[in-house]
Amino acid sequence: MAAERALTERLARFFPQGPRTLVGIGDDAAVLDGRHRRLVACCDPVVAGVHFTPAAPPALVGRKAVNRNLSDLAAMGAVPDWLLVSLVLPHRLPRARLDALLRGVRAAAAAAGAAVVGGDVATHDGPLVVTVTALGHLPGRALTRAGARAGDTIHVTGPLGGALAGHHLRFRPALREGVWLARQRAVHAAIDVSDGLALDLATLLRHSGGLGAELDAAAVPIRAAARRLAGGDRRRALGRAFGDGEDHVLLWTQAAGAALAPGGPLTARARRAIGRVAAEPGLWLRHGDRRTRLAAAGYEHDVPGPG
């Protein structure tokens, strides 16, 4: 039996079969017991040279490939059930690196209670590409990007900026927070902050019918790495919080003045607003009495534009 077959059989042993998995790794497709009517699905790749550097430990690359999809599920208020993992490997990838990658995938899946149920392996003359599809279900309503209203306060589950110093490989998807937020009636819309606070907030506002927002410069929580990378310069650190991306915290809006239920997974910090949704389009940043225009800029792939 040649190497690819051997690897597929190894994967079938490596990844524990989850509950509700009728046919797992090794057949043409997985068969899953979808007892929940509302299925949630997303699919994002990580690519060497784009989403991680050659120096990134492969176990953390596997972890990131899973967790960035789980963060998308979290932003919908979904619970993960199953993962499919497509690996496009560079020729001559050392076995130890592949094994570490797979261990990272398995650990992240296990931490979230999800089972790896299928996927594919190919090799090519190019960079490592790990594409994970995450499937889950909704215990309550779906938390979309489309429900924000003028006057809502804006919140984030954690600090922002400087993720490339390490957080982007090690973050924990806010799964408990997403499910909990979906249960709060006062919460109107949510998004996974992956491309930067400014850009993802702008996306949420556009999906909510073309609203705007004003953020409070003093209230935006800044990750320690962003302050460090900014050499202690508060303005530059704030720029990083707005534009660096890969934070994978949840941003949500809620009815002004509404109190969320006590308890739950949110920090006290996350319950404090960082800004407010406005009826007029445009992003503004308030510094005390001044306010300045904030560009909706962040990480974007240079895809072919409109013709």
User: 186: which DSSP letter?
Assistant: T
In the complex with its own copies, the residue whose CB is nearer, 222 or 247, is 247
C-alpha distances out from residue 106 to 100, 121, 129, 226, Å: 10, 16, 17, 30
Residue 228 in 3-state DSSP?
Answer: helix
Mention every residue, 6+ apart, whose C-beta is less than 8 A from residue 78. Answer: 40, 136, 137, 138, 142, 178, 179
Determine how β-strand 290-293 pairs with β-strand 249-254.
unpaired
- Give the binding-site size for its own copies (rule: CB under 8 A): 90
In the complex with its own copies, the residue whose CB is nearer, 8 or 229, is 8
Q: How far is the CB of 226 from its own copies (least distance, A)?
A: 22
Instruction: Tell me which stretch binds its own copies (CB under 8 A): 47-55, 158-166, 237-245, 262-270.
Output: 47-55
Query: What is the spatial distance between Cα 128 and Cα 105, in angstroms, rounded to a whole number?
Result: 14
Instruction: Tell me which stretch binds its own copies (CB under 8 A): 119-127, 209-217, 258-266, 285-293.
Output: 119-127
Q: How far is the CB of 205 from its own copies (least distance, A)?
A: 12
Q: How far is the CB of 153 from its own copies (least distance, A)?
A: 20
Q: How far is the CB of 168 from its own copies (least distance, A)?
A: 14
Residue 4 in 3-state DSSP?
Answer: helix
Q: Does 40 bind its own copies (CB under 8 A)?
A: yes
Residues of this chain, 163-202, that bind its own copies according to CB under 8 A: 190-192, 199
In the complex with its own copies, the residue whose CB is nearer, 36 or 291, is 36
User: 150: which DSSP letter?
Assistant: T
Q: Does 277 bind its own copies (CB under 8 A)?
A: no
Q: How far is the CB of 228 from its own copies (least distance, A)?
A: 28
Q: Does 105 bind its own copies (CB under 8 A)?
A: no
In the complex with its own copies, the residue whose CB is nearer, 217 or 283, is 283
Q: How far is the CB of 95 from its own copies (least distance, A)?
A: 4
x/- contact string, 58-97, with its own copies (CB under 8 A)? --------------xx-xx-x---x-xxx-xx-x-xxxx-
C-alpha distances out from residue 32 to 18, 19, 43, 98, Å: 10, 9, 18, 27
Q: Does 53 bind its own copies (CB under 8 A)?
A: no
Query: What is the spatial distance between Cα 170 and Cα 236, in angstroms, rounded to a whole number?
Result: 24
Residues of this chain, 196-225, that bind its own copies according to CB under 8 A: 199, 203, 207
- Selected binder of its own copies within 57, 127, 140, 265 (CB under 8 A): 127
x/- contact string, 7-26, with its own copies (CB under 8 A)? x--x-----------xx--x
Q: Residue ranges of the alpha helices (H) in 113-251?
A: 167-170, 175-183, 197-207, 224-229, 234-243
Query: What is the spatial distance between Cα 198 and Cα 167, in angstroms, rounded to a whole number?
Result: 19
In the complex with its own copies, the residue whose CB is nearer, 33 or 280, is 33
- Is residue 157 within 8 A of residue 260, CB to CB? The reply is no
- Selected binder of its own copies within 56, 100, 142, 273 (CB under 8 A): 142
Structure tokens at 21: 């998995």
DSSP per residue over 166-178, as a string? Answer: THHHH----HHHH
